[in-house]
Structure 1
């Protein structure tokens, strides 16, 4: 039976997100798999995979906030802004007081203008930035607006800071480490990173690829597949009759019937039998517009 739903994977270091997807395809037998936000090869932690019909919902989950824990190495900048790149420059590391760390936290919280790393998947003139950088070019990466909701910095040893970040989509912790180093005046790069949460999902609920392989051998993979609508738990919901649900599935916009309704750009919709139908938009008048409907 084809698997449709969400699989939470605890990625180990050294694997690309593409590697994880390829392995998951082999172990689950489901060829149609996408993820809701890549992790660099060096990084570990939560990678949210959507299987089968749930891939239609990826676009609504990539906007989830993310939580990370990591280490920042002070005193050295690298070509990749992490520990895997060539060291470009080294500078002495000053003594950082607790007051200075709190000042840095305040300075890097809120809405920021952030330049992505040169070695990133951001497209520049139709090319991935990392492809340009690997050829020796300098990708002209523009700054982008990102949101850092919470930032915690603590000493973690000589020349090291531990970092905990709660951020919005599109935020590069590598860039954050680089920019914190520049603000201190000694340069820095990201030495380690682990994603601990994405939206409502937590890494504690994820399985490693080794655990997934064991489950696959026992024919128990289905036990760790979550329902597709769990990825939209933070959005509003509408309930319609079974007949109206079928009309939505066929692309028909439903006229309002409820006395009270709340507009929503993206709302889950269920039929009266409890079946999750997909994602809809509810306008000011209460009309329900189908956006991404799942097959029967």
Structure 2
């Protein structure tokens, strides 16, 4: 007998405020159970010691999770100067100390300028990257260390929020793959000292911002009110794609598009990425413009 899949078909995105101390997967599974959702995924892990924006995708929304994973992120964090830890944050023990120069805010901001734009980072040993089939953090926890190659990242914005003695409150908007712990360590070195992250919060991921987040407590309260209250928390799948061009198909074209066929659309946007809707059918998925000017399905997302 085929194994029966558990859960319900629920589609949408829930912008969670991940709490401190919990893993991203743990909170995903907790919310999944509350929704009784059959299919779920998150859009890029946050360390247990980090909090903030963690969009959770359910049902058909999991088809756009990779797009959110690739999106820029914004973090607010504190860099403690004078000591470096094994993990780059407060979880690891101190492995190096150094005096902290008498720094002005102008001197800090001037040093930060060197990190804007395209830069390279050496991934930390305490990361989930794999080498020879093993996670780097597994090698590090066993007392080992391996050579890592620099990886390109992009820093779009880097701001000093406050300079409190030997602590710097900072905010950065960056590309996927950016390690804030490495950024803090590299900035500390540029300032003539060493440093580590003592607080980290993601305040934006793609189109989702801190002000629209839901806490686990709010979700649990909605679950006690019933299914309608839970479903009301979900944002539509296309909320992940606000900057994409869009097109709406008439019923005949909708039929063919849903069958995976390319269709001819008047005034089709000259864009690589297109949101596709059907009259009376809602969001149909992602489309792409073919060289001959027709619209072809890139990924069907059928929530109805």
Question: SS at the partner of 1:71?
Answer: strand
1:150 alignment counterpart: 157
Contact conserved, 2:9 with 2:38, CA < 8 A, in 1? no
**Structure 1 regions of 5+ residues with no counterpart?**
none
Q: Aligned-pair distance for 1:117?
A: 1.8
Contact conserved, 2:15 with 2:54, CA < 8 A, in 1? yes
1:245 alignment counterpart: 254
* Separation of aligned partners in 1, 2:164 and 2:104: 14
**Structure 2 regions of 5+ residues with no counterpart?**
1-7
Question: SS at the partner of 1:262?
Answer: coil
* Separation of aligned partners in 2, 1:283 and 1:148: 33
2:63 alignment counterpart: 56
2:203 alignment counterpart: 196
Contact conserved, 2:162 with 2:170, CA < 8 A, in 1? no
Question: SS at the partner of 1:118?
Answer: coil
* Separation of aligned partners in 2, 1:203 and 1:108: 25
2:109 alignment counterpart: 102
Worse-matched range after superposition: 286-295 or 216-225:
286-295
TM-score by length of 1: 0.94
Alignment map for 1:1-12 (pairs within 5 Å): 2-12=9-19
* Separation of aligned partners in 1, 2:150 and 2:135: 16
Question: SS at the partner of 1:238?
Answer: strand
Q: Aligned-pair distance for 1:3?
A: 1.9
2:4 alignment counterpart: none
2:230 alignment counterpart: 221
2:140 alignment counterpart: 133
* Separation of aligned partners in 2, 1:116 and 1:186: 20
Alignment partner of 2:129 out of 122, 145, 153 = 122
Alignment map for 1:1-296 (pairs within 5 Å): 2-219=9-226, 220-254=229-263, 256-258=264-266, 260-273=267-280, 275-295=282-302, 296=304
TM-score by length of 2: 0.92
Q: Aligned-pair distance for 1:69?
A: 0.8
Worse-matched range after superposition: 129-138 or 202-211:
129-138
Worse-matched range after superposition: 263-272 or 20-29:
263-272
* Separation of aligned partners in 1, 2:113 and 2:57: 36
Worse-matched range after superposition: 268-277 or 222-231:
268-277
Q: Aligned-pair distance for 1:283?
A: 3.0
* Separation of aligned partners in 1, 2:204 and 2:240: 12
Q: Aligned-pair distance for 1:155?
A: 4.0
Contact conserved, 2:10 with 2:38, CA < 8 A, in 1? no
For residues 240-284 of structure 1, the C-alpha deviation after alignment (integer angstroms, 9 at most, x for no partner) is: 222222322222122x332x4333332211012251001111134
The size of the alignment, in residue pairs, is 294
Contact conserved, 1:76 with 1:189, CA < 8 A, in 2? yes
